[in-house]
Amino acid sequence: MKTTHDMPSGADGLTTVRSRGGGISVTCTSSGLPVAMRLEPAQCRREPAALAADVLALCRLAGLTAGVRRRAALADDGVPEETLSLLGLPSRADLVASEEALDAAGARR
């Protein structure tokens, strides 16, 4: 499943991702630190541990997404691939693998 991005990553490096059904929306920094969260009322009736696991997974995904965007922006600015690799920024393949792992684990409700 594809990640839903509510807003592009701006100069501030924030990225917003939503759960598959849209019941959870998390805005995070490029390191995955949440700065805003929106929960549909139905999400608040879920088991707290399961909800927390989904929120944490979305925070990680938002951070990864922001890293991929940063890598693409640096590449567009002419930074060599070797340098990007040394920076440890995730690739598009890393993002796809993470999304697939979340789907396989049944996260992202």
Domain count across the chain: 1
Please answer whether residues 56 and 66 qualify as being in contact, where contact means their C-beta atoms are separated by less than 8 angstroms: no
pLDDT, residue 7, reads 42
pLDDT in tens, 81-109: 999 889 988 889 999 998 888 888 765 55
For residue 57, give every residue at least 6 positions away whose Cβ sits within 8 Å of its Cβ, in sequence order, or none. 102, 105, 107, 108
* Distance, CA of 102 to CA of 98 (rounded, Å): 6
Question: In the β-sheet with 34-39, what is the strand arrangement from edge to edge?
Answer: 4-5, 15-18, 24-28, 34-39
CATH number (domain holding residue 52): 3.30.1310
What's this model's pTM, rounded to 2 decimal places? 0.78
Domain containing 91 equals 4-105
